Chains A and B, each alone.
Chain A
Amino acid sequence: MDDDRVFKALADPTRRYLLDRLFERDGRTLTELESELEMTRFGVMKHLRVLEDAGLVVSRKQGREKLHYLNPVPIRLIHDRWIDKYTEHRVAALADLKNELEETA
């Protein structure tokens, strides 16, 4: 919903590390994620909260456990909104260059 939150959430190495761990294996508990970081439980919780607020992590209850899942949709939305827009120009520029070179050849 809010691009700013996504960019802010991604602007931190610990949070990117957490996303990479979830990318490797999804659906982890806080305890599992905590074991991969030199950080207090509280610290990991805080980072997960920022990721959840940005929509990059979705947590779901399974029995007594709360499992964390990577949600790639906000990154996809940023890709569609920003990356496509700029790379399109580059591709277009290369296509123009190709046409120009082939015409003069």
Chain B
Amino acid sequence: MTTMTAQTTQVYSVFIKATPEQIWDAITNPEFTQKYFYGSLVTVTPETYRGLDAAGADLVTGTVFEYEPPTRLVHGWRALYDPETAVEDDSRVTWEIEAQEGGYSKLTVVHDQLEGAPKTALSVASGWSYVLSGLKTLLETGEPLVG
């Protein structure tokens, strides 16, 4: 685990019992994101993706490239929470939300263009699973993950 080089394209996928609109809301509304996204307050406009900590400092910023509620969001990713990742190149995050049968939706997150951001790649490789697991739990139970 410690010797791994993180992948430059990472794909994460999860089925959530929720509508695409609910998922869209949960990834773009700071009241939701602070409950599962390492406490960060995320705001998304058609131009900018921004994650802030409780004190208002930037954790993540990026330009929004595609903004199609409630099915598709593509934005840049610069991780400012660590001085070592903050100086790396911007990478890209794509959120795809597809309605499925039985009230489920499939959420896929692709984090790519990480060639110029190896430290970011390593940092997010363990983070996304935690974030998506927390998002699923929050939407399905109304409660954040404990611990």
Chain A residues with CB under 8 Å of chain B are 1, 23-27, 55, 58, 60, 69-77, 80, 84, 88
Contact = CB atoms under 8 A, between A and B. Distances in A.
B11 A60 contact: yes
Nearest to A76: B129
26 contacts: A1-B15, A1-B104, A24-B4, A26-B10, A26-B11, A27-B9, A55-B15, A58-B13, A60-B11, A69-B10, A69-B11, A70-B11, A72-B12, A73-B12, A73-B13, A73-B128, A73-B132, A75-B129, A76-B129, A76-B130, A76-B132, A77-B14, A80-B133, A80-B137, A80-B145, A88-B147
Interface string B74-114: 00000000000000000000000000000010001010000
B43 interface: no
Interface of B: 4, 7, 9-15, 104, 108, 110, 128-130, 132-133, 136-137, 145, 147
Contact of B11 (A71, A75, A77): A71
Nearest to B102: A1
Contacts of A77: 14, 133, 136
Given A58-B108, A71-B13, A84-B147, A27 B7 contact: yes
Contacts, number: 49
Nearest to A59: B11
Contacts of A73: 12-14, 128-129, 132-133
Nearest to A71: B13
A55 B11 CA distance: 11
Given A1-B15, A24-B4, A26-B10, 4 more contacts: A26-B11, A27-B9, A71-B11, A80-B145
B129 to A, nearest CB: 4
User: Among the interface residues A27, A71, A73, A88, which one has the most CB atoms of the partner chain B within 10 A?
Assistant: A73
